[in-house]
Structure 1
Amino acid sequence: MQTFAAIIPCHNEEENVPLIYAELEKTFSQLSDYHLITWFVNDGSTDKTLMAIQMLQSSNPDVHYIDMSRAFGKEAGMYAGLSNAKADFYCILDADLQDPPSMIPDMLDGISNGYDVVGAARTNRAGEPPVRSFFANLFYKIINAVSSTPIIPGARDFRVMTRQVVEAVLSLSESQRFSKGLFSWVGFKTKYLPYKNVERKHGETSWNFMSLLNYSIDGLVDYSDAPLTLVSGLGLISFVGAALALIFIVVRAAIYGDPTAGWPSMVSIMLMIGGLQLLAIGIVGRYIGRIFLEVKKRPIYIAKKIK
């Protein structure tokens, strides 16, 4: 019998914990060739999530948990679960049931047919605010246009992986993690199963628009140097434009004399160049900030208790 580890990061999911586990048990009751081991990662929850996990563990020795010392984020939670679980196959799921455990048998079929990774990709974003859907779709278009690491539109972290893939992902030790890019970067034979979006059962998502925007920017910075190329190009255009304007002013003054200069145009040019410089500094600063965080070599997570 082969072992299957389900990794479930949780942040304030006390109502969803028993539901996701019940769905997993229901699914694996039909998979007699696999032994389910469940790893919950309590990522700094302020409700009774940990208590709900401990209640499950008290009646099932195959339930384990990692209690983080504080909220480190979902990326750190996934890394913690993958690092501690030992199994033949691994699966990452959200606790809110937006990742249907009923898809796991089809994913395992894909693994049996020679794939190393079988993931899930949403075909729609029903239930999400239109603005969030628009920017999400825009993000996928931009990052796939500027990055050599393809990111599948609608792809979830929900996927089944072999041990070899997990070891490859864990070998990438950067502290600022963008898992969608990491899963793609390591390669391996991958397949995605389409499914319609499922709304969360209970509670509210901890991902707001700003956190998603920052996550998207991190993805662009991590997997592309296109922003640096962009500001270099803008700087070159600005320099050439200024040189041409200078030549024009000199020639005009030589032919027509030096007319009184208007301050509005001067102020506009100064603001434009100043804004361009701030944009360039901000983009370069983002890359330098990532370097600063990485060279500290801080741990990706700190566990208060692993059981």
Structure 2
Amino acid sequence: MTRPRLTIVIAAFDEARALPRLQPRLAAVLDGLDADGIDAGVLYVDDGSGDGTWEAMEVIAAADARVSLLRLSRNFGKEVALTAGLDQVTDGAAMILDADGQDPPELIPQFVARWREGYDDVHGTRVSRAGESWAKKATAHAFYRVIQRLAKTPVPADTGDYRLLSPRALDALRQIRERHRFMKGLFGWIGFNRIAIPYERHARIAGRSKFGFWRLWNFAIDGVTSFSTAPLRLATYVGLATACAAFVFALWVVGKAMLYGDAVAGWPTMMAVILFLGSVQLVALGVIGEYLGRLYEESKRRPLYLVRDWRSSRHPGPEGLHQERVVTAAQG
């Protein structure tokens, strides 16, 4: 019988210090999976790094025949880099792992066990986050709760990209080619059988996080606007409420002038009303602009990513078929 296949997909950007420390742990996991009858390998995706990450990947691939490498033409962002890696997994399941070592690879056999039980999306849910500031923990906690309320698509709380996807889940995900990719939402959108594995997230093994608060803020906006129209509806409600308040205020001003006259000039009141209404209009236009900008990006139909280099693994298996897949994904 053909052994089940698993590809561990790791997208990295400027992680030259972390990858050499992560690989020995991965190699031990691969050895254990091989003993359990799983044909496993690793696919590293270099998202246009500039610190020697690609060179570090080449050293790793030269030492381990189970490692494949994919290098994008520039930095496209983590979401697109993950998409590029998952596009290449045309046989078997895929396990997504961060390059910083915060998500322990030693738990991968637990994910595989759940996959063998019939689950299509086995995701890790964080019960603790070591090495992160209280501000980052608080904002992450708030973000997941907000998007759960705004989006119709299920997005599990405190759950990132640390997950295993079955072959049919990967096939479904490959059909989604939108440009602004909020992967956590896409994982929930495809549905299928899902189960969570609680775990404790570790501190980074090397380097610093590339996601500052500004990038996290933009990431949150992408998540909300990709899976919810609630901001547009909120802008409508605010506009209606403001219009009603302005109408009532206008009646009060006219009635007061008719009954008591208007001996005092209303400059402060007039300016306050104008500034308030103008601010509401600008906010509403900004919300509409966010959605319109995304429509503009989608209409151009540019490729999600372009591939610069591909290094197939030397491990026996169907990796030789991936070269053609890389070209197709880059153009589609």
Give the TM-score normalised by structure 1.
0.97
Q: How does 1:138-153 map to 2 (within 5 A)?
A: 138-153=142-157
The question of 1:2 aligning with 2:7 is answered: no
Instruction: Give the C-alpha shift of residue 6 in structure 1.
Output: 0.7
Q: Over aligned residues, Cα RMSD in angstroms?
A: 1.2
CA distance in 2, matches of 1:130, 1:17: 27
The DSSP-based 3-state class of the residue aligned with 2:11 is: strand
Q: How does 1:83-102 map to 2 (within 5 A)?
A: 83-102=87-106
Is the 2:54–2:71 contact (alpha carbons within 8 Å) kept by the matching residues of 1? yes
Instruction: Give the C-alpha shift of residue 152 in structure 1.
Output: 1.1
Q: 1:135 aligns with which of 131, 136, 139?
A: 139
Instruction: Give the C-alpha shift of residue 261 in structure 1.
Output: 3.0
Is the 2:44–2:69 contact (alpha carbons within 8 Å) kept by the matching residues of 1? yes
Instruction: Give the C-alpha shift of residue 159 in structure 1.
Output: 0.7
Instruction: Give the C-alpha shift of residue 62 in structure 1.
Output: 2.3
Is the 1:5–1:86 contact (alpha carbons within 8 Å) kept by the matching residues of 2? no
More divergent stretch after superposition (186-195 vs 18-27)? 18-27
| Corresponding residue of 1:192 | 196
Q: 2:65 aligns with which of 44, 61, 65?
A: 61
Instruction: Give the C-alpha shift of residue 20 in structure 1.
Output: 2.1
Is the 1:39–1:64 contact (alpha carbons within 8 Å) kept by the matching residues of 2? yes
Is the 2:30–2:40 contact (alpha carbons within 8 Å) kept by the matching residues of 1? yes
CA distance in 1, matches of 2:89, 2:189: 22
Is the 2:71–2:309 contact (alpha carbons within 8 Å) kept by the matching residues of 1? yes
More divergent stretch after superposition (152-161 vs 214-223)? 152-161
The question of 1:236 aligning with 2:240 is answered: yes
Is the 2:104–2:201 contact (alpha carbons within 8 Å) kept by the matching residues of 1? no
The DSSP-based 3-state class of the residue aligned with 1:192 is: strand
One-letter code aligned to 2:227: Y
One-letter code aligned to 1:21: Q
CA distance in 2, matches of 1:24, 1:87: 20
More divergent stretch after superposition (82-91 vs 2-11)? 82-91
CA distance in 2, matches of 1:217, 1:22: 37
| Corresponding residue of 1:48 | 52
The DSSP-based 3-state class of the residue aligned with 1:99 is: coil
Instruction: Give the C-alpha shift of residue 125 in structure 1.
Output: 2.8
Deviation sequence 1:96-127 (CA, Å, 0-9, x none): 11111111111111112221111111112332
Instruction: Give the C-alpha shift of residue 175 in structure 1.
Output: 1.3
One-letter code aligned to 1:194: P
The question of 1:82 aligning with 2:86 is answered: yes
The DSSP-based 3-state class of the residue aligned with 1:199 is: coil
Structure 1 runs not aligned, ≥5 long: none
One-letter code aligned to 2:207: G
| Corresponding residue of 1:23 | 25
Give the TM-score normalised by structure 2.
0.90
CA distance in 1, matches of 2:143, 2:272: 31
The question of 1:36 aligning with 2:48 is answered: no
More divergent stretch after superposition (216-225 vs 32-41)? 32-41
CA distance in 1, matches of 2:83, 2:59: 24
Equivalent pairs, count? 307
The question of 1:161 aligning with 2:161 is answered: no
Q: 1:70 aligns with which of 65, 70, 74?
A: 74
One-letter code aligned to 2:130: A
- Provide runs of 4+ in structure 1 moved above 4 Å: none
Is the 1:5–1:37 contact (alpha carbons within 8 Å) kept by the matching residues of 2? yes
Is the 2:30–2:41 contact (alpha carbons within 8 Å) kept by the matching residues of 1? no
The DSSP-based 3-state class of the residue aligned with 2:201 is: coil
Structure 2 runs not aligned, ≥5 long: 312-332
CA distance in 2, matches of 1:129, 1:261: 53
CA distance in 2, matches of 1:92, 1:57: 18
The question of 1:281 aligning with 2:280 is answered: no
| Corresponding residue of 1:124 | 128
Instruction: Give the C-alpha shift of residue 61 in structure 1.
Output: 2.9
Instruction: Give the C-alpha shift of residue 260 in structure 1.
Output: 1.9
The question of 1:207 aligning with 2:211 is answered: yes
The DSSP-based 3-state class of the residue aligned with 1:248 is: helix
Between the aligned residues of both structures, percent identity stands at 34
Q: 2:295 aligns with which of 291, 298, 303?
A: 291
Instruction: Give the C-alpha shift of residue 233 in structure 1.
Output: 0.5
One-letter code aligned to 2:40: L
Is the 1:43–1:77 contact (alpha carbons within 8 Å) kept by the matching residues of 2? yes
CA distance in 2, matches of 1:245, 1:272: 13
Instruction: Give the C-alpha shift of residue 94 in structure 1.
Output: 0.6
CA distance in 2, matches of 1:156, 1:220: 16
Is the 1:9–1:40 contact (alpha carbons within 8 Å) kept by the matching residues of 2? yes
